[in-house]
Amino acid sequence: MTSAATRAIPPAMSTRLQPARGTRDMIGADARRHVAVGDTARRIAALYGFEEWFTPIFEDTRVFSRGLGETSDVVAKEMYSFPDRGGEMLTLRPENTAGVCRALVSNGLTQSLPQKAFYAGPMFRYERPQKGRYRQFHQIGCEILGAAEPLADAEVIAAGWHIIQALGIADGVVLEINTLGDAESRDAYRAALVAYFTRHAENLSEDSRMRLEKNPLRILDSKDAGDRALLADAPAITAYLTGAAAAHYAAVLGYLRGMDVPLRENPRIVRGLDYYSHTAFEFVTDRLGAQGTVMAGGRYDGLVEEMGGPATPCVGWAAGMERLALLMEAADRTPPAPRPVAVVPMADEAPALVVLQALRAAGIHAEMEYRGNPKRRLERANKRQARAAVLVAGDGSLQVKDLDSGTQVAATLHGLVEMLPTQ
């Protein structure tokens, strides 16, 4: 007898399972670009003194709802939140700045500032998937925790620019920068924005009419065409900055010029999250369609307090690894597939195994086909683009064949390692 429950399960062959909507597999060239983004970023960040932090992929939901603000798009619409089996409300991290600040406090590191954190890993947002926009995506990020000085803003931005250059994708990428001022500047600016948008309320999108009540600065970040048209004549923050806020911003610009980071001031840059003040910036490109922001960040001086720590000035950015990888692809910067040295036993496998492991021990990528006569194995070596084949005779004597030129010479094991430099 078959129960209703078992009948409802389709036979295994009929369901070909796909990755969940908005997620993707990265294999081959995709994976190589992803690894290059992470490795390059990690290497450059280390030059600037950033050490890698690993924080959990899920956190207590309050880390994000408090940190990012209840009205932010991310918290209001995009979070993957769920009660676990114990009834605790958890969220898959939609970004990692809040997690890093939570970790600073949890680990008592507010006593040893400044801290410079680098991270790389998956983030999750319930969004409408499109090119360069996914539900599971990955970010690299750099945060300087516990430094209010404008040199910290400039340094974290310079590290980001250095990473973009090291990836070979700087062409067509521009730093756009703005200041959101301090609380006093922002209060004055907010009042001016409310006055302006209230006058034009009938032309605002429904979302932006909501923002007008809750967080008018967000309207500057709107993607709605009607809103954008209104923005052209909206007041700019520059006129509302206090002396101290203007001085901080001027110093950041001065340092960036001193560090040779090209920039464009853009008074429309605000960040989508609640925690920013002073410097706000984005590295943008026109090469990725609507997904033109590759790296974004700014100063956030209130977030550590939200996590229960002391007032701690911080500045940092995050970049979408997929978007950086798309730019690498467009710039023809995909790392080539690795080319192994093929070890080919001409008779017994035993002496060939010794050679195989000796090459690997010397740091050379070497592979031996699992089966086949010498001719078949050589064919396969050619097919997988091996750079050379080492033919190992039954007595252990060696011939090395360059598979690009076809030349073949006798060699000793020691000489082989010299001849085949690590790639």
- List residues near ligand ATP by CB under 6 A: 95, 125, 127, 132-134, 137, 139, 272, 291, 293-294, 296, 318-320, 322-323
Name the residue nearer to ligand ATP (CB basis): 323 or 377: 323
CA pair distance 126, 196, nearest whole angstrom: 33
Strand order in the sheet with 398-402: 366-367, 341-345, 388-392, 398-402, 408-411
CA pair distance 61, 360, nearest whole angstrom: 47
In 3-state terms the chain splits into helix, strand, coil percentages (rounded to 5) of 40, 20, 35
Residue type, 26: M
Residue reference for tokens 């983004």: 37
Name the residue nearer to ligand ATP (CB basis): 288 or 398: 288
User: CB of 419: closest distance to ligand ATP in angstroms?
Assistant: 44
Q: Which residues have a Cβ under 8 Å from the Cβ of 351 and sit 6 or more positions away?
A: 345, 392, 393, 394, 395, 396
Name the residue nearer to ligand ATP (CB basis): 274 or 369: 274
Name the residue nearer to ligand ATP (CB basis): 118 or 134: 134
CA pair distance 34, 19, nearest whole angstrom: 18
- When CB distances to ligand ATP are compared, the closest residue is 320
**Residue whose C-alpha is closest to residue 199's, from 161, 176, 233:** 233
User: End-to-end alpha-carbon separation of the chain, Å?
Assistant: 62
Q: Residue 185 has which token pair?
A: 């500047």
The DSSP bridge pattern shows strands 263-265 and 408-411 to be unpaired
Name the residue nearer to ligand ATP (CB basis): 73 or 402: 73
The phi and psi torsions of 162 (rounded to 5 degrees) equal -60, -40
Name the residue nearer to ligand ATP (CB basis): 73 or 367: 73
Q: Residue 183 has which token pair?
A: 């609380």
User: CB of 195: closest distance to ligand ATP in angstroms?
Assistant: 26
User: CB of 272: closest distance to ligand ATP in angstroms?
Assistant: 4
Name the residue nearer to ligand ATP (CB basis): 212 or 294: 294
User: CB of 377: closest distance to ligand ATP in angstroms?
Assistant: 43
User: CB of 20: closest distance to ligand ATP in angstroms?
Assistant: 14
CB 114 within 8 A of CB 145: yes
CB 143 within 8 A of CB 304: no
The DSSP bridge pattern shows strands 366-367 and 388-392 to be unpaired
CA pair distance 135, 128, nearest whole angstrom: 8
User: CB of 405: closest distance to ligand ATP in angstroms?
Assistant: 44
CA pair distance 147, 366, nearest whole angstrom: 48
User: CB of 224: closest distance to ligand ATP in angstroms?
Assistant: 13
Name the residue nearer to ligand ATP (CB basis): 284 or 341: 284
The phi and psi torsions of 400 (rounded to 5 degrees) equal -115, 125
User: CB of 276: closest distance to ligand ATP in angstroms?
Assistant: 10
User: CB of 256: closest distance to ligand ATP in angstroms?
Assistant: 19
User: CB of 282: closest distance to ligand ATP in angstroms?
Assistant: 7
Name the residue nearer to ligand ATP (CB basis): 219 or 355: 219
Name the residue nearer to ligand ATP (CB basis): 42 or 387: 42
